A and B are shown apart, each in its own frame.
Chain A
Amino acid sequence: MSAWSRPPLLFPVSHTTTEANRTGAWRFARPVFRPKTAPCAAACPAGIDIARVEMFAARGRLHEAWQTIARENPLPAVCGRVCFHPCEAACNRAQLDAPIAINALERYLGDAALAAGTPLASFDAPDLGRKVAIAGAGPAGLAAACFLARLGVSVEIFEAAAEPGGVLRWGIPAYRLPKAVLAREIERILALGVGLHCNRAVDQAFLAEAAGRFDAVIIGVGFSAPVRLHIPGEDRVADGLDFLRRVQTGQTEAPRGEVAVIGGGNTAIDVARTLLRLGARPVIVYRRRRRDMPAFIHEIAAAEAEGVRIETLLAPVGVAADAGGVRLTLQPMRPDQPGGDGRVRAVPAGQAPTVRHFAAVFSGIGAEVGAFWHRPADEAETLRLSHCALRLGQHPIAYVGDPVTPANSVADAIGSGKQAALALHTLFTEGPRAVARALQDCRVGPGPAVSLEIYQGAERAGRASRTVAFADINTDYFPVAARRHPSALPPGRAAATFDETLEALAPGEALAEAGRCFNCGVCNDCDNCRIFCPDQTVQAVRDGRRIDLDYCKGCGVCTVECPRAVLEMEEESA
């Protein structure tokens, strides 16, 4: 065949790849993998890594979810019941539909770990050869003990009462916190090697003696004296906190008939609901308006549903004996301008006081320090941190709990104990000058809470302290979904027993609720960045995502499609 009849096939075939084109040179901004702080975590006084907890929980990895909580808070099943959950108030999801039920999920995980008998991680810290005495086995003292033990310090707790727990044991009624739950979470802390001595009240003589035996003392005895009303006949007013304590030790008697409970905080609610369960008809008498009551809204609602009456704008001005009870003189009040604390003040309304008969009057207005040495003195050598005070010097003393925390809550107490533990560890290992800086460096975002994980330099230490805002979230990935609520005992039945009023979330509900979480600032391996990168420059690596900057054109698709603001764009420097 001639060449004319079969011409050569001229077919250009590529023989090299586009790898030679370093398209990264086009870029004027680069994506940066930068995990951030979730607002819930920054708001949590115990500094729990909530966004990561929910990430594990949503995947059904309950053990890791619980370990993530327990690293920062050794009392999850307790806090899952009694915490006032400021995390939920800070939750970004509130701006889409409703906040995540973080508190109910904490309880769910806490109960799961108790059921499984999971111990607290000890982190195998080397023994520092240091000893610390802790006065008071309340939440602050227990937390301090847990974190010191985890950091290799030997700890002994001295508790005045017959059993540990403090306010959790004696103040919070069983219908909110079953005592078996508390006992088992305390056992788990003691299992870290913490020594506990009950019926050992700490006094100043003990402190003097302890100075020789211990490298430091922590004082966490809380508030032990009731706040006084300063009205005539006050000796006829029963102390509500003492009443709650006696009910815990087996008292089942309460006055018959109508009983007044003075106050508007959680103590007043607890006293009233306890009286109700023992057969009295409690009436809460509060000097300001209903909306000014410091008690949790859900507690107020539960009390009313059970049958507690609430009367507001009434101030007690006198108590006198009466046949079969007491006569309580009540002054009608009216709201006035806010006072120095920003709260609306109540002033007499001008009407004449009324006198009412009650079977008894209880005070539920809280407590204060029982002795001057329970709180730090104003001394130059005292280092004041957000949740604890540390008296430096030859015999260091750390003050924790109610007398030194900005808010008197269980979570604040736990945060306080942890802060003191980390401060003492730094004091022992690096000396007094390093303490303030070390505690500053392990804060959770801009919040006051400190984190053990950050202190230990683990993964969380790599997060930026900036908190994620709702505007940073790509809500395309989050369809509106109803918040799951735990079911409650019907109020009629609840009022007749000390059984727990709130039930746990059902397993399926808990996982679905955790799945609603945005996981603000925490990579949950959704892989959007890698899947959507037009140039396949995103690579999944063990500690997050790596961008191949030789080829990344800086389009920003990965950053926009990151639902949780882990990736962000950063301008290239010229």
Chain B
Amino acid sequence: MSQALNTDRGLTYPGNVGCPGCGANIAVNHALRALGEKTILVIPACCYAIVSGPYPQTALKVPILHSAFACSAVTASGVRAGLDMQGDTETTVVAWAGDGGTFDIGLQSLSGAAERGDDIIFVCYDNEAYMNTGVQRSSSTPYGSRTTTTPGQGWKKTRKKNIMEIMAAHRVAYAATANIAYPDDFMRKFARAREARGATRFIHVFASCPTGWGVASGHAIKIARLATRTSVFPLYEIENGTDYTLNAGGDLPVGDYLTVQGRFKHLAPEDLALVQAEVDRDMALIQEKVAATQVRRAFFKSA
């Protein structure tokens, strides 16, 4: 007779209404394992607003406050202020927004909170389009992607906005990229963000969307891992907006990642070469900043 060893569902209830293979669900599971039950989520309009349960249901054992699309960051700031009034210094307040609610519609609110240095963790779980409403392009949608608003030959010809550089420009205390395919790195970063209280922390989570990207649901993790192994989505941390640490990149060609997805199927070899050049340049920039950080640290240490 089998004896249960670990039947723990963590802080979730079964029966969420996410698509099979939903990367956002995997992201929430990883994040809550690191954050613990003393967590409040503020969720603007996005996939996870629905996945976590349409009224009157909830899929989480931690409180969720649903906000309007444009204001998850400032709502989280408000929740934080309320908790401070109550003398609760233990609870972590997390804004949990999709790329639409971060890169586009939520950007002014996020910028405001970051400029004020509000004591929140802002998480963007990035699936690179407005998936919940039917795969419309966002400013996070990468170059070459087909969406319902960039269909056919009108596939997106502009690159993805670099949200990490925007947050670095705000000199947030801690910013990091995390990938659902790297659970140890992912949870370490969330634990670190939880501990870095008193300042704004930002985590850019790569959360694959099999439905919107045109990959098999079972490949949700595999495709996310490829994003890092091709350096399309390198894993790195930025402290105080200036100090860079690289955790993981990779040397696989971008074609390994792009050509297995329906949204990029139409790209010609010259398009892939263009993406490769862009990825290489971005990676070189990060490496320059990592090197500069090391030089600066060595200088201050010796001084």
Give residues in A with beta carbon < 8 Å to B: 12, 14-23, 26-27, 474, 476, 530-537, 539-544, 546, 548, 550-551, 553-557, 559-561, 569
Contact A532 B26 (CB under 8 A): yes
Contact B16 A23 (CB under 8 A): yes
Nearest chain B CB to A309's CB is how many angstroms away? 48
Contact B56 A534 (CB under 8 A): no
Contact B2 A12 (CB under 8 A): no
Q: Please, how many angstroms separate the alpha-carbon atoms of A358 and B225 in the complex?
A: 67
Q: Please, how many angstroms separate the alpha-carbon atoms of A12 and B65 in the complex?
A: 10
Contact B2 A542 (CB under 8 A): yes
Contact B2 A476 (CB under 8 A): no
Contact A536 B12 (CB under 8 A): yes
Q: Please, how many angstroms separate the alpha-carbon atoms of A532 and B219 in the complex?
A: 11
| List of A residues within 8 angstroms of B29 by Cβ | 531, 533-534, 536
State which residues 201-237 of B face A: CB under 8 Å.
Answer: 210, 216-222, 225
| List of A residues within 8 angstroms of B3 by Cβ | 541-542
Nearest chain B CB to A537's CB is how many angstroms away? 7
Contact A559 B5 (CB under 8 A): no
Known: A534-B23, A541-B3. A17 touches B58 (CB 8 A): yes
Q: Please, how many angstroms separate the alpha-carbon atoms of A23 and B53 in the complex?
A: 13
Known: A536-B14, A543-B2. A20 touches B57 (CB 8 A): yes
Contact A530 B6 (CB under 8 A): yes
Q: Please, how many angstroms separate the alpha-carbon atoms of A539 and B10 in the complex?
A: 11
Select which of B7, B59, B180, B210 is within 8 A of A17 by beta carbon.
B59
Q: B18 at the A/B interface (Cβ < 8 Å)?
A: yes
Contact A534 B21 (CB under 8 A): yes
Q: Please, how many angstroms separate the alpha-carbon atoms of A533 and B59 in the complex?
A: 15
Contact B218 A559 (CB under 8 A): yes
Q: B25 at the A/B interface (Cβ < 8 Å)?
A: yes
Contact A541 B15 (CB under 8 A): no
Q: Please, how many angstroms separate the alpha-carbon atoms of A534 and B209 in the complex?
A: 12
Select which of A474, A542, A550, A569 is within 8 A of B14 by beta carbon.
A550
Q: Please, how many angstroms separate the alpha-carbon atoms of A316 and B15 in the complex?
A: 80
Q: B17 at the A/B interface (Cβ < 8 Å)?
A: yes
Contact B14 A548 (CB under 8 A): yes
| List of A residues within 8 angstroms of B85 by Cβ | none
| List of B residues within 8 angstroms of A26 by Cβ | 20
| List of A residues within 8 angstroms of B218 by Cβ | 555-557, 559-560, 569
- Give the size category of B's interface with A: 35 or more
Minimum CB distance partner of B24 in chain A = A534
Contact B5 A536 (CB under 8 A): no
Select which of A19, A476, A540, A543 is within 8 A of B13 by beta carbon.
A19
Select which of B25, B57, B59, B222 is within 8 A of A560 by beta carbon.
B222
Contact A12 B217 (CB under 8 A): no
Known: A542-B2, A555-B20, A555-B21. A23 touches B14 (CB 8 A): yes
Contact B57 A539 (CB under 8 A): no
| List of B residues within 8 angstroms of A557 by Cβ | 21, 26, 217-218, 220-221
Q: Please, how many angstroms separate the alpha-carbon atoms of A539 and B217 in the complex?
A: 20
Q: B301 at the A/B interface (Cβ < 8 Å)?
A: no
Contact B2 A18 (CB under 8 A): no
| List of A residues within 8 angstroms of B59 by Cβ | 17-18
Nearest chain A CB to B142's CB is how many angstroms away? 22
Contact A18 B220 (CB under 8 A): no
Contact A15 B56 (CB under 8 A): yes
Q: B4 at the A/B interface (Cβ < 8 Å)?
A: yes
Nearest chain A CB to B171's CB is how many angstroms away? 34
Q: Please, how many angstroms separate the alpha-carbon atoms of A543 and B1 in the complex?
A: 8
Nearest chain A CB to B72's CB is how many angstroms away? 17
Q: Please, how many angstroms separate the alpha-carbon atoms of A544 and B2 in the complex?
A: 8
Nearest chain B CB to A175's CB is how many angstroms away? 46
27 residue pairs A–B, Cβ–Cβ below 8 Å: A14-B64, A15-B56, A16-B57, A16-B58, A18-B53, A18-B59, A21-B15, A21-B57, A23-B17, A26-B20, A476-B222, A530-B6, A531-B183, A532-B183, A534-B20, A534-B21, A534-B23, A534-B220, A535-B14, A536-B10, A541-B5, A541-B7, A551-B15, A555-B217, A556-B218, A557-B26, A557-B221
Contact A551 B14 (CB under 8 A): yes
Q: Please, how many angstroms separate the alpha-carbon atoms of A543 and B2 in the complex?
A: 6
Nearest chain B CB to A552's CB is how many angstroms away? 9
Q: B70 at the A/B interface (Cβ < 8 Å)?
A: no
Q: Please, how many angstroms separate the alpha-carbon atoms of A537 and B14 in the complex?
A: 8
Minimum CB distance partner of B25 in chain A = A534
Nearest chain A CB to B188's CB is how many angstroms away? 14
| List of A residues within 8 angstroms of B53 by Cβ | 14, 17-18
Q: Please, how many angstroms separate the alpha-carbon atoms of A14 and B43 in the complex?
A: 14
Q: Please, how many angstroms separate the alpha-carbon atoms of A17 and B52 in the complex?
A: 9
Minimum CB distance partner of A543 in chain B = B2
Contact A539 B14 (CB under 8 A): no
| List of B residues within 8 angstroms of A556 by Cβ | 20-21, 216-218
| List of A residues within 8 angstroms of B6 by Cβ | 530, 539-540
Contact A539 B13 (CB under 8 A): no
Contact B10 A561 (CB under 8 A): no
Q: Please, how many angstroms separate the alpha-carbon atoms of A553 and B51 in the complex?
A: 14
Nearest chain A CB to B42's CB is how many angstroms away? 14
Contact B15 A19 (CB under 8 A): yes
Minimum CB distance partner of B29 in chain A = A536
Known: A540-B5, A555-B20; 14 extra A-B contacts, CB below 8 A, are: A16-B58, A18-B17, A23-B16, A532-B221, A533-B29, A534-B18, A536-B12, A539-B4, A553-B20, A553-B21, A554-B20, A555-B217, A557-B21, A560-B221
Contact A17 B183 (CB under 8 A): no
Q: B22 at the A/B interface (Cβ < 8 Å)?
A: yes
| List of A residues within 8 angstroms of B20 by Cβ | 26-27, 534, 553-556
Nearest chain A CB to B108's CB is how many angstroms away? 25
Nearest chain B CB to A79's CB is how many angstroms away? 34
Minimum CB distance partner of A561 in chain B = B221
Nearest chain A CB to B186's CB is how many angstroms away? 10
Minimum CB distance partner of B217 in chain A = A555
| List of A residues within 8 angstroms of B300 by Cβ | none
| List of B residues within 8 angstroms of A474 by Cβ | 222
Most buried by B among A15, A535, A543, A559: A535
